């Protein structure tokens, strides 16, 4: 089978298993697709890293999900969903400064989306409280 068609088939299967919440199986298909090392469009490759990042988030592997979102952003830096998902992973890991930067980028990319401003405000408040708590414990 042509590797390009094989990649698409693997991605489609991964998506189907993701929708069924069969995350481990989805991850296996995505890893296999990416191992083909094809010269495909940056948009398609970015979508693949995005899906793999989402799968890893569902598996609570937040740190490695950030790596996949970083790869996707390097390929498609104007895709707001990548910053949104990465900010969620950073937040879970208490990496508030990084999450704040992602929210700021989201506001630039989607200025009419008020939820990004609310998320940014909340993250700033949490970050301040976290710093105060850490200072008290020193």
Note if the pTM is more than 0.85: yes
Q: For residue 1, what pLDDT is reported?
A: 62
- The series of mean pLDDT values per 10 residues for the chain, 138 residues long, is 89 98 98 91 95 98 98 97 98 96 97 95 93 81
Cα(52)–Cα(7) distance, rounded to whole angstroms? 14
Cα(80)–Cα(59) distance, rounded to whole angstroms? 22
H, E, C per residue of 1-42: CCHHHHHHHHHHHHHHHHHCCCHHHHHHHHHHHHHCCCCCCH
Q: Which two tokens stand for residue 33?
A: 């697709």
Cα(21)–Cα(66) distance, rounded to whole angstroms? 20
């Amino acid at each position: 089978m042509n590797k390009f068609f094989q990649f698409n088939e693997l991605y489609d299967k991964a998506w189907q298993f993701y929708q069924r919440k069969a995350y481990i199986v989805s991850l296996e298909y995505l890893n296999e697709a990416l191992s083909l090392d094809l010269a495909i469009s940056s948009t398609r490759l970015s979508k693949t890293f995005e899906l793999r990042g989402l799968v890893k988030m569902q598996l609570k592997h937040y740190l490695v999900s950030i790596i996949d979102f970083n790869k996707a952003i390097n390929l498609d830096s104007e895709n707001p969903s990548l910053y949104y998902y990465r900010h969620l992973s950073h937040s879970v890991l208490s990496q508030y400064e990084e999450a704040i930067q992602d929210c700021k980028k989201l506001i630039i990319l989607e200025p009419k989306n008020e939820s990004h401003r609310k998320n940014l405000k909340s993250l700033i408040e949490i970050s301040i409280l976290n710093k105060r708590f850490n200072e008290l414990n020193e």
